[in-house]
Structure formats: C-alpha cells, structure tokens
Amino acid sequence: MVNVGIIGYGYWGPNLVRNFFAAKDCCVKSVADARPERLQQLEKVFPSIKGVRNAEEIIYDPNIDAVIIATPVFTHFKLAKKALDEGKHVLLEKPMTSSIEEAEILINLAEQKNVLLMVDHTFLYTGAVQKMRQLVDNQDLGNIKYLDSTRINLGLFQHDINVLWDLAPHDISILNYIVNERPYSVNSTGITHTNNGIENIAYLTVNYASGFIAHFNCSWTSPVKVRMMLIGGDKKMILYNDLEPTEKIKVYDTGYSHSNDEEKNRVLVDYRTGDIHVPKLETTEALLGMANDFISCILEKKQPQSSCHLGLDVVRILEASNKSIKHNGQEVVLKSANLPVLPNVQEILI
Amino acid sequence: MVNVGIIGYGYWGPNLVRNFFAAKDCCVKSVADARPERLQQLEKVFPSIKGVRNAEEIIYDPNIDAVIIATPVFTHFKLAKKALDEGKHVLLEKPMTSSIEEAEILINLAEQKNVLLMVDHTFLYTGAVQKMRQLVDNQDLGNIKYLDSTRINLGLFQHDINVLWDLAPHDISILNYIVNERPYSVNSTGITHTNNGIENIAYLTVNYASGFIAHFNCSWTSPVKVRMMLIGGDKKMILYNDLEPTEKIKVYDTGYSHSNDEEKNRVLVDYRTGDIHVPKLETTEALLGMANDFISCILEKKQPQSSCHLGLDVVRILEASNKSIKHNGQEVVLKSANLPVLPNVQEILI
Amino acid sequence: MVNVGIIGYGYWGPNLVRNFFAAKDCCVKSVADARPERLQQLEKVFPSIKGVRNAEEIIYDPNIDAVIIATPVFTHFKLAKKALDEGKHVLLEKPMTSSIEEAEILINLAEQKNVLLMVDHTFLYTGAVQKMRQLVDNQDLGNIKYLDSTRINLGLFQHDINVLWDLAPHDISILNYIVNERPYSVNSTGITHTNNGIENIAYLTVNYASGFIAHFNCSWTSPVKVRMMLIGGDKKMILYNDLEPTEKIKVYDTGYSHSNDEEKNRVLVDYRTGDIHVPKLETTEALLGMANDFISCILEKKQPQSSCHLGLDVVRILEASNKSIKHNGQEVVLKSANLPVLPNVQEILI
Amino acid sequence: MVNVGIIGYGYWGPNLVRNFFAAKDCCVKSVADARPERLQQLEKVFPSIKGVRNAEEIIYDPNIDAVIIATPVFTHFKLAKKALDEGKHVLLEKPMTSSIEEAEILINLAEQKNVLLMVDHTFLYTGAVQKMRQLVDNQDLGNIKYLDSTRINLGLFQHDINVLWDLAPHDISILNYIVNERPYSVNSTGITHTNNGIENIAYLTVNYASGFIAHFNCSWTSPVKVRMMLIGGDKKMILYNDLEPTEKIKVYDTGYSHSNDEEKNRVLVDYRTGDIHVPKLETTEALLGMANDFISCILEKKQPQSSCHLGLDVVRILEASNKSIKHNGQEVVLKSANLPVLPNVQEILI
C-alpha cells in the first residue's frame, strides 16, 4: 500500500484524487490547497481525505510515501525538490519543469535518493496512443516519415506559460513515446495578441537527422476545437482524431515510395491507397492507467511508461522552442542530439 | 471580341478551354501542345478549335489577341516574354514565374507594351473567397489577427517545384487578396522524402509588423485530403472548409480581447462565443469568373482582381520560403516590406 | 423545502440523486432499492442519504413530501398510486405508465388529492428543445409541415418494453411540446429478432388532420448511434443533431410553397435555400432544470413544462403504436383526437 | 456492334449519350426529343449524332438495334411496347413502368420476340453496391436482419409520380439485388403538401416472412441531403453513406445474438462491437458499367444484372405502396410472395 498526498486541487486535482482513490494498492491521505473553498469542495466529495492548507504538511508528513504535484509549472521544481529531499516518490504534472536544468537536477536527485520520479503525461495511457505505438513498433507503418499535430481551440490564456508549453506537451510526449530517434533540432514561430509577451499562437517544427519531421500547431484562439494528429509511414498512415467518440484511430493502407527514372533523369514516386481500418480501442480511463503505473512502479521498483526521462525530453523541445521563437524562428540544435554538427548551419545550441 | 490561344493542354488545359469557350466576348482560336495524343483529345471535344504542336504558332499568330500559358512554371517566363514582346495580352497559370526577378521583368514589359498581364489565381473568384473578403472589408471580423491554412492530401509529387510552390499559391493568393498589410518576413521548414531535394512536406509562417500572423501547412503525403483555413479577428472568426459541399464558410461570433488586471499585475483575456452563421455562397464556376475578368479587363483596360501584382506578391513569399528552408528555417525579411529593419534581427533580405 | 425520496437506484437513479441534491429548496432524504450492492454504491457517493430496501419505507414515511419513481415501467402505476393515496407529490420516469388507463387514473387521483403529478421528460429542459419551441412559437419556421426523427444505436434490449416505448418517449415528448395540434392517428410497423415478441426495430407515423406528419425510426440494433430530428416549416427548417457537441441546432433558411400553373394544369413548387444559422444554446444540465421545475411547481402550485398531461399524450401514442403493430400497421385513430371520423377509413379506435 | 437510339434528352439523357458513346461495341445513332432547344444542345456536344423530333423516327429506324427510353414514366409502356413489337432491344429508365401489369406485358413481349428488355437501375453498378452484395453473398454479415434507407433532400417536386416512385427505386433495386428472399407485404404512409395529391414525404416498410425488414424514408422537403443505408446482419453491419467521397461503405464488426435465460424466464441478448473496416471501392462510372452490361448482354444473349425481372419487382413494391398509402397505411400483401396467407390478417392483395 502506497500512501499519497496531492498538492494542488485546482482544475486537474479532482481528477487525480478520483483516480488515485480508485487505483490499486493506494491510499489518498491528504490534499493541499491554499484556497479554503477548494478544500470545502474536497470534503464534500471525499470526506475521508484530509484537506490541508500548506504543501509542507504533505511533504513533511512521515506517513506519506508519495507526493503528487498538480500546481503551476513554475512551482514544480521547488516542491519536487523538497519532496525528493525527504525521500518521497514524486509524480509531477506536465510539463515537468520550467527548464531542462531543473528537470536534470530532479532526475539526479531521485536517482540518488533511490525513489521514483515520474511525469503525468496522461495521453500515453489512452487506448489510442497505446494502439499507435503498437502499430509503429510492429512496423505496420513501415518507416515513419512525419508526424503532424494540430491542437487548437478557444482556450484559457495562461499567465505563466505560452500556448506551446500549455498544449504541446500532450503531443510531444506522444511523439517521444512513439518515435525512437532523438530529435536533432527545433524551429518555432509564434505571436502574442496580448501585451504580456506570451504567445497564444505558435508553430513548432522538430527536425530529425533521418529525414523524419514533426510539426505542431497550437492555438488558444481558434473558433473550433481540433485535436488531430497524422503519422505517416511509407507503408501505412494513421489519422488520430481525439474528438471522435468511436473512431479515434484510422489506419490508412496508403503509402508512397520512390525510384529513379533513369531515362528522364528524375524521381518517380509510387502511391498506393487502399482500405481503411478503424481498430477498436481500449476504453479504460487513461488517468487511472497512469495512477496504477505510478503505484505499481513504486512497489515493483520499475520505470513507468511516462518516465522522468521522457518528461525531460518534452521540456528539452519546449525550451528549445522558446529560444527559437526569441530568435525569430532560427534553428536551435538540441545538445542531446549528440550529433556531429552539420556544416554551414548557423545554429544555437541548447 | 478577343481571340485567344492557349499554350498547354495538360491537366488544367481542358478546364481553361471549356471556360474560355463559355466566356463572353471571347473566341478560342487555337491550342498548342507538343503531344499529339493531347491534340487528338482536344479535337474530339472541341472540333472548332485548331490544335497546333508549337507554342510559337500561337505567339506569332497575328489573329490572336491574347495568350494563355498553362505549361510548367519554369517555362512561364520565356513564353510570356515572347508573347508580350509581340504585343499580346497574357494570362499566366499560377504560380506566375519561378522568381521575383522574372515576374518583375514581365510586369515592366506589359506596362511598356500597354497590354494586360494577369495570373490565374482561380480561388479568388470563388463565392467563398469573395464572401471572406467582403466580411473582412466590412470589418465584420474586427481587427484580423491570424490566418491558418492546411492544404494536404496524397498528391502527385511534382518534378520541378516543391509542395509549397505547388499547393500554397492558392492560399497565399487568398491571404494577399483579403489582407491589406504587406508581410514583413517569412520562416519556412520542410523535408524531402525523395532523393531529388524537392520538399514534399513544408510549413510556412508569414510574419507581419502589426502582429498579424499567417501559417501554411502543405503536404503531398497525407492519407486524408484537408482544405481548411481559419481567419481570426478579435470580433469574429471564419472557418473555411473547401471540401464542404454546402457549408464552406462558417462565421463564428467568437472573439477575444485583453485588458490589464492592475491588482494581480497580469493580463486578463475575455472570450466570447456566440452563434454561428453559414452564409449562402455564389455557386458560379470560379474559372469562368476568372475568364470573364480577363476578357473584360482587356476590353475595358482595367486591372483584374487576380492581377500580376498580386501574382508577384505570391512569388515573393514563395521565393523567400525557398531561401528560409535552405537556411534551416531562418527568418527571411521581404525587401518589399519597406520597413525599417528591426534591431538585433539576424536576417536575410530578399 | 421539499423532502424527497427516490425509488429505484439503477441506471438513471444516480443522475436523479445528483441533480435533486443540487436542486434548490430540496432535500433528498432516502433512496430505495432492493439490491444491497446498489445501496452500497449510494452510501459511498452520498453518505448523507438513507438507503432503504423497500419502496414502502419511502411511500409511508411522513417526513417525505415527494416521491420520485425510477423503476421499470410496469411498476409505475402501483407505486405512484400508493404514493398519491398517501398525499405525496409524484415524479414518474418516462414513459409515465404502461397504458392510457393507468395514466388517466393517476391524473384523476392527483387532482383529487391536490398534489403534483409530473413525468420526467428530461429532453424538454435542454437548451436545444427550448430553442426549437421558441422558434416554432415565434412563427420563425412558418407553418410547420413535418417532424422526422431517428434514434438508433446498439442498445440494451429491454425485457418488458419494446424499442418504441424505450426510445421514442424522448422524441414524442418533444413533438408534443413543440406542436400544438393534437394527432389524429398512428401507424406503426416493426420486427422482433428475439423470440420474446418484443420489437427491437420499429417505425411510427403520427398523422394529423392539418397535413402535418411526424415519423419516428427507432432501433436497438444499429452499428452507429444517430440522434437526429428534422422539423420542416414552409419558411424555415431545423436540423437537430443531439450528438453534435456545439452545433446541435441548425436553422436553415429553406422553404417551399406551391401555386397552380393554370396553363399546364399542374402544381408549381417554389424552393428557397439560403443561409444557415446555428444559435448558441443554454448549456445548463437538463436534468437539473427538470428537478428545479418539479420542486418549484410543488412550492408554487403550478403546472410544470413536462406535465402529466403531456406524459399521458406520449403514452397515448405509444399504446396506439402497439395496437397498430399488432394489426400489421393498420391505422389506429386516437380517441382524444375529437375529430369527426373521416369517411371510408377502416379504423381502430383507441 | 449495336446501333442504339435514345428517346428523351432531358436531365438524364446527356449522361446516357455520353456513356453509350464510351461503351464498347456500341454506336449511338440518333436521339429523339420534341424540344428543339434540347436537340441544339445535343448537336453542340455530339455533332456526330442525329437529333430527331419524334420517337417513332427511332423506333421504326431499321438501322437501329436497341432503343433506350429516358422519358417520363407514364410514357414508358407505350414506347417500349412499340419498340419491342419492332423487334428492338429495349432499355428503360427506372422505374420501369407505371404498373405491374404494364411491366408484365413488356416482359412477356420481350420473351416472345427474343430480345433483351432491361431497366437502368444504375446504382447496382456502383462499387459500393457491388461490394455490399459481395459481403452479403460471402455470408460476411451472417444472417441479414434489416435494411434501413434514408434518401431525402430539397428536391424537384415531380408532377406525375410521388416521392417514393421518384427516389425509392434506387434503394428498392439495391434491396432486391442484395436480398434473395421475396418480400411478403408492404406498409406505406405519406403526406402531400401541395393540392395535387402527390406525396412529397413518404415512408415505406417492406415485410418478409423470415423476420427480415426493410424501411425507406423519402422526402423532397428536407433542408439537408441524406443518402444513407444501414444493412444489419447478426455477425456484421454495413453503413452505406453515398455522400461520403472516400468512405462510402463502412463494415462494422458488430452483431447481436440471443438466448433464453432459463432462470429468469427471459431473453438474453449478447452484443459485440469491434473494429470497423472501410474497403476501397471500384471507382469506374456506374452508368458506363450499366451501358456495357446492356450492350454485352445483347451480343451474348445473357441476362443483365439490372434485369427486367428486378425492374418488375421494384414496380411491384411501388404499386403496393400506392395502395397502402391510399388505405391509410394498411398492409398490402404481395401476390408474388407465393406464401400461404397468414391467419387473421386483414389484407389487400396486389
């Protein structure tokens, strides 16, 4: 049995409480939130859980084994560090931290303390993403060539993070979960329509040495909600529409290959279009899957699917996107890429 | 009556012939194509039109007033120049030319010869684009803030131009037709999945000094066909889905505005969502509208809606996108922007 | 303050408890269900509500003012009669009773006892139905000519009632709420694919003396879920798609009228198609609106929107449909129609 | 080589001419239409075809082998009879004739004259219908249980036939092509909103002895166009949406079966939902397939897929629907059913 405390009972907190309540081998002991009205809400629905005003009451509670942090991003590092210092297992909401440096410090600390540090990239636990990973792993798509994601709607403008940090972690975590190759570099452009300098529309290209490319289109200012991702391989392609109630994943027996037309000295491209297959997906709640993964990885000392390393890789791309936007879309090469620098590239290293 | 000759009877040629056949005050005299089987096709459907093997037979025909050029882009300049030199009016298929320089030479020549030079950006003549322009001109959208366009499908890989030159002219011409402000700069990224260096997936951001932003997502390698554009104003927003048979344009009574929260020292954003309006659109064939515009502008010595200046502005953005892709997405400032260079921008001028 | 007891904690019960919990001037005292596991569920979520095994414990509880009956249809009459006899206000789940006779007895009894008898036709309290009624009442549609409803999916086969009694009450209640004219007669056909004689697919036509017509298509055996209704007037028409998250109601500026072509001795029909309007709808939960209507009508001695008379009219059509199906689709004239019998109609009176 | 003449150059005529022009072993000699402006149209597009004012000029032309009749339904019988008397092969537009009797006379006459009599039920030659038939024939759906069709839009009110005769022939021909069992009886209801007694909205149920059921919903007065058919088997189900550009046919791995719950004395129903499969369909033009079938069946003395017997069966159901509507929806048993009359059925034989 793992005793958990949850810090932050805002928009996402109730979902976390409900699912950790339902998780196996887990007991939700207390929830911290500075706002009395939120604690009243908590008590009404979960009278068995103790509400506390201060995060420290959870972090320093000796009866608590694991701390779940669901507060604004800029507070993640400080809270997580304290909890890790106390030897607690920690689950951080996405995005993991405000910077690569913070994430690396936490990862080292968790290793040192021999506790679990995990990030809640809930989407990885959906039937849709599990199915996509399986299709890619089984080579059903052939060599994958691109990922193209659109996540736009009329959304709550955040005050501390831009639209990429708010919306893209979902899609970048899926990218990192499905694609094994490490990205080489990042380009990003965007615009702010307020006077606080925080982008409400932004575009992100992630470049890979192999020729794979990923692109993300995020906006808080679209009149329509779109949650769409294309993953293209040379054998098959996937359309993932998260708003579809029953047909989230469509697998197109569509591909293309090229050869050289010796005679005309040009490239010939062959297309193929065929049947479409809509696999039935697991419908268990993703957040419960995440909660169970966290608890069982603590008990069995394993690495979770949504690991801190994946969480760090998401932050790596986000931090690089910030740098690229500030430099008017210039390419930012990811240090982690560990690749020989390509010639004649005017680059910014991150 | 204007006598016209059409050079090129490939994919688009038959549509041009059919519509110029139907246009007012116009007589299609001859069509040139080097391929005998294409001319046979022509004769079967239009026995009254003369088929010729050589473009010169049209350009130097004294009975022909206007030449329509529907050949691959790289041939546009040479053919158009000859025709203008002969004092013919010229209609060029989109994109106008392979470079800004070529377009500028042709524009100067047409002015000098006092003949009409026009580019066939057919989309401008659709009921949908006419309605969008009217909504923007009437200030129904308020101040427009962004345009976001996706034009993807499983398409014919071109051998001479990349996917932006092939697909984006439609959307860039709409952008230029609807938005009065001149763009400041361009960022573009993309990838080629063949070994000929021609991008089959590409992304383009067009930046404006006012804070307006435009983005284009083009691909020849999508399993699904998408033809979607969002235009957002602070008062209303438009969703333009060209694949919808009857609801191509939806106008959302959706907007956002911001103010400063003095107390908390942060920006407050107000959203508004309301009714949706789907205006009935004109359903006359766009290509016929374009043909009639060409003929009547010749006869009445006016400038057409799809003018050579608009055509040049499209090429300007395309050429800049090429340069940006080659420099790994770096910002390329458009010379035409006529703006003081912003400080600390590492830029490429075009 | 009205103290209520709820009989039946099956599929719908938890929704009723939750919404009466949230309703104004209302206190949910106890819930009855014969199944211990259902009462355990209740206690977990609503520890403040008393769970009892027997309906009588609610009906004869002097502290309870109003009884809500959410049990299978065939038990409605007996339970409601007991509760009315005790002077309780009664809310019945839809459909109200198994027969016209039962409904009429309950209505008379409630009148005699001077208590409220209401039926939970939840859909009447949705933003969509309220908007449709408003459009019809305002004569926006002109003279309404037809209503066409499809409600199909892969559903739970019921053991005591056929698919019309299960699914059509929603749509018939909307029909009765929106259309003032009383129906003249009913035709119904259907089929059972089990050996218990209970139709799992059925079709229902409701005929009106004025020429208005309504049609209902219900099935438990469709691979896709459809919840669609068309309401056509001679000036405008409505498409109501309940599965649309944001565009449930579309108002088409479409109509038709006819005149006589004297010359050719035939009827000329004029069509008109125009813009489409998608009104923004109220998004408050319909069930809460229903609960508040029940409570406030008790306190203020008013008639609710979803009255027992409307509930009876729904049962009237359902009972007639049964009779028509048994007589192979023959027309069944509704006694309530109070119309002179049309000549040469071979009819069954109900 | 078969020489054909076409009578009627209205809405459908140009499509017939174009496709018989393209058909193998076929020569379109002449086209008859009483309206000079239609013949002018013909000459413009097909200068090689002779336009004549009078049907007799085709029927009595000794150089013509086969006559195609594309005139209003009420003229079919007279024209076809004359042509068959002359020993011509005949293709009739759908519906075949105005009555069962007329169709039977023509069929007998064609047999006697040893010529081909065929009906143009074009839909049978679409990739979608071919695929559905194949799926049913292969037992992929298991035992089929129902067919449910909706074909509605804002359409041209016909002056001589009601909406079922106008629109339902498409769907009834598909029903007859796919389902082997002969229908037992028909119920139909409808309404006219003009004063000419011709229904513009109508509903049709076709009953079968086995428990299979088919239903058709037709309207000329819907604001939206719907062309949808469901075919349900106990193993799989098909959704056929003819308006879908690329996913016309979806095959749902969805089924249901029942057994008796001995203990509770009731029926247990098992559902199953699984993957969805969207087969790629043939995209050749259906009308060309029909034309080729007509010509090759003349040359090879075979029966076409869209035979006169299938055409008669369509008329059988339509005539019965007329009778049922006139008798307020009463069941009309089809004589052809060749079934022992079920007891206590008050029926009308047709």
Domain with C171, as residue range(s), is: 124-283+315-337
pLDDT for the residue D47: 82
Measure the CA–CA gap between B332 and B346, rounded to whole angstroms: 9
pLDDT for the residue C19: 95
What are C70's two structure tokens? 């959410």
Q: How many CB atoms lie within 10 A of CB C253?
A: 17
- Lowest mean pLDDT of B100-109, C146-155, D265-274, name the range: D265-274
Question: What is the torsional sign of CA A126, A129, A132, A134?
Answer: negative
Are C174 and C194 in the same domain?
A: yes
Are D75 and D162 in the same domain?
A: no
Measure the CA–CA gap between D162 and D316, rounded to whole angstroms: 15
Q: Give pLDDT tens digits for B37-85.
A: 999 989 887 888 999 999 999 999 999 999 999 999 999 999 999 999 9
Q: CB neighbours of A197 closer than 8 A, spacing ≥ 6?
A: none
Measure the CA–CA gap between A250 and A238, rounded to whole angstroms: 6
Measure the CA–CA gap between B272 and B254, rounded to whole angstroms: 5
- Lowest mean pLDDT of B32-36, C340-344, D1-5, D102-106, name the range: C340-344
Cis peptide before A72 (omega within 30 of 0): no
pLDDT for the residue D269: 78
pLDDT for the residue B271: 77
* B230 contacts on A by Cβ (under 8 Å): 152, 222-224
Nearest CA-CA partner of A149 in A232, A69, A71, A82: A232
End-of-domain residue from the set C66, C86, C120: C120
Closest CB to D221: pick one of C156, C222, C232. Answer: C232
Percent of chain C with pLDDT over 90: 83
Are C220 and C329 in the same domain?
A: yes
Measure the CA–CA gap between C348 and B27, rounded to whole angstroms: 72
Is residue D348 domain-resident? Answer: no
Q: pTM score, two decimals?
A: 0.92
End-of-domain residue from the set C60, C95, C120: C120
Q: What is the CATH number of the domain that holds C238?
A: 3.30.360.10
End-of-domain residue from the set D69, D101, D120: D120
* B185 contacts on A by Cβ (under 8 Å): 328
Closest CB to C47: pick one of A47, A245, A246. Answer: A47
pLDDT for the residue D339: 42
| Smallest CA–CA distance from D252 into chain A, residue | A278
Measure the CA–CA gap between C46 and C36, rounded to whole angstroms: 15
Task: List phi, psi (to 5°) of B289.
Answer: -60, -45
Counted residue by residue, chain B has a size of 350
Q: Give pLDDT tens digits for A226-263.
A: 999 999 999 999 999 999 998 999 999 998 877 777 66
Nearest CA to CA, how far is D111 from chain A (Å)? 43
Are A207 and A319 in the same domain?
A: yes
With 70 as the cut, is the pLDDT of residue A59 above it? yes
Tell me if residue A110 falls in helix, strand or coil. Answer: helix
Interface test with A, best of D276, D282, D283 (most A CBs within 10 A): D276
Are B11 and B149 in the same domain?
A: no
Nearest CA-CA partner of B77 in B86, B69, B67: B69
Closest CB to B154: pick one of A191, A267, A271. Answer: A271
* D44 contacts on B by Cβ (under 8 Å): none
* A190 contacts on B by Cβ (under 8 Å): 213
Measure the CA–CA gap between C207 and B298, rounded to whole angstroms: 62
pLDDT for the residue C345: 43
Q: Give pLDDT tens digits for D133-172.
A: 999 999 999 999 999 999 999 988 888 899 999 999 999 9
List Cα–Cα distances, D313 to A270, B146, D289, in angstroms. Answer: 46, 59, 22
With 60 as the cut, is the pLDDT of residue B219 above it? yes
Q: To the nearest whole number, what is the mean pLDDT of chain A?
A: 92
Q: CB neighbours of D19 closer than 8 A, spacing ≥ 6?
A: D285, D287, D288, D290, D291
Are C226 and C243 in the same domain?
A: yes
Nearest CA-CA partner of C19 in C122, C128, C137: C122
Q: What is the mean pLDDT of residues A11-15?
A: 91
pLDDT for the residue A264: 65
Question: What is the torsional sign of CA C288, C289, C292, C297?
Answer: negative
- Which chains neighbour B (Cβ–Cβ under 8 Å, 3 or more pairs)? A, C, D
* C135 contacts on B by Cβ (under 8 Å): none
Residue type, D52: V
* B246 contacts on D by Cβ (under 8 Å): 225
Tell me if residue A152 falls in helix, strand or coil. Answer: strand
- Which chains neighbour A (Cβ–Cβ under 8 Å, 3 or more pairs)? B, C, D
Q: What is the mean pLDDT of residues C219-247?
A: 96
Measure the CA–CA gap between C170 and C167, rounded to whole angstroms: 6
Q: To the nearest whole number, what is the mean pLDDT of chain D?
A: 92
CB of D293 within 8 Å of a chain C CB? The answer is no
Measure the CA–CA gap between C144 and C212, rounded to whole angstroms: 7
Q: CB neighbours of A140 closer than 8 A, spacing ≥ 6?
A: A233, A235, A236, A251
| D window 29-48, beta carbon within 8 A of B | 47
Are C62 and C27 in the same domain?
A: yes
Task: List phi, psi (to 5°) of A80.
Answer: -65, -40
Is residue D347 domain-resident? Answer: no
Contact present, C149 and C173 (Cβ < 8 Å): no
* D245 contacts on B by Cβ (under 8 Å): 243
Are A49 and A135 in the same domain?
A: no
With 60 as the cut, is the pLDDT of residue D129 above it? yes
**Res. B273 pLDDT band, cuts 50 70 90:** confident
pLDDT for the residue D276: 96
**Res. A336 pLDDT band, cuts 50 70 90:** low
Max mean pLDDT range (B252-266, B325-339, C41-55, D61-75): D61-75
Is residue B62 domain-resident? Answer: yes
List Cα–Cα distances, C303 to A119, C70, C97, in angstroms. Answer: 55, 21, 19
Q: What is the mean pLDDT of residues C65-87?
A: 98
* D131 contacts on A by Cβ (under 8 Å): none
As a whole number of Å, the end-to-end CA separation of chain C is 41
Q: What is the CATH number of the domain that holds C111?
A: 3.40.50.720
Measure the CA–CA gap between C118 and C91, rounded to whole angstroms: 5
Given an 8 Å threshold on Cβ–Cβ distance, is D276 in contact with A278? yes
Longest dimension (CA), chain A: 79
Predicted complex: ipTM over 0.90? yes
The radius of gyration of chain C's CA atoms, rounded to the nearest angstrom, is 22
Tell me if residue A142 falls in helix, strand or coil. Answer: coil
| Smallest CA–CA distance from D212 into chain C, residue | C191
Q: What angle do CA C319, C322, C326 make, to 5 degrees?
A: 145
Contact present, B308 and B80 (Cβ < 8 Å): no
Is residue B275 domain-resident? Answer: yes
Nearest CA to CA, how far is A124 from chain D (Å)? 21
Alpha helix (H) ranges present in A179-271?
none
Is residue C346 domain-resident? Answer: no
CB of C344 within 8 Å of a chain D CB? The answer is no
The secondary element (H helix, E strand) that includes residue A232 is strand A221-233
Are B86 and B206 in the same domain?
A: no
Q: How many CB atoms lie within 10 A of CB D342?
A: 12
Longest dimension (CA), chain C: 79
**Res. C268 pLDDT band, cuts 50 70 90:** confident
As a whole number of Å, the end-to-end CA separation of chain A is 41
Are D203 and D328 in the same domain?
A: yes
Is residue B273 domain-resident? Answer: yes
With 50 as the cut, is the pLDDT of residue C341 above it? no
Nearest CA to CA, how far is B227 from chain A (Å)? 14
- Which chains neighbour C (Cβ–Cβ under 8 Å, 3 or more pairs)? A, B, D
Q: What is the mean pLDDT of residues C195-209?
A: 94
Q: What is the mean pLDDT of residues A133-154?
A: 97
Are C132 and C194 in the same domain?
A: yes
Measure the CA–CA gap between A54 and A34, rounded to whole angstroms: 6
Is residue C342 domain-resident? Answer: no
CB of B275 within 8 Å of a chain C CB? The answer is yes
CB of A263 within 8 Å of a chain D CB? The answer is no
Q: CB neighbours of B2 closer than 8 A, spacing ≥ 6?
A: B25, B26, B27, B65, B66, B89, B295, B298, B299
Is residue D304 domain-resident? Answer: no
pLDDT for the residue B262: 66
Q: Give pLDDT tens digits for D210-263.
A: 999 999 999 999 999 999 999 999 999 999 999 999 899 999 999 887 777 766
Residue type, D185: S
What are D334's two structure tokens? 């089809």
CB of B252 within 8 Å of a chain A CB? The answer is yes
With 80 as the cut, is the pLDDT of residue B289 above it? yes
CB of A274 within 8 Å of a chain D CB? The answer is yes
Measure the CA–CA gap between B55 and B49, rounded to whole angstroms: 15
Nearest CA-CA partner of B212 in A193, D56, A179: A193
Nearest CA to CA, how far is C327 from chain A (Å)? 39
Are B221 and B178 in the same domain?
A: yes
Question: What is the torsional sign of CA C197, C314, C174, C120?
Answer: negative
CB of B321 within 8 Å of a chain A CB? The answer is no
Q: Give pLDDT tens digits for C306-331.
A: 999 999 999 999 999 999 999 999 99
Given an 8 Å threshold on Cβ–Cβ distance, is C277 in contact with B279? no
Considering its fold, how many domains does chain B have in total? 2
Longest dimension (CA), chain D: 79
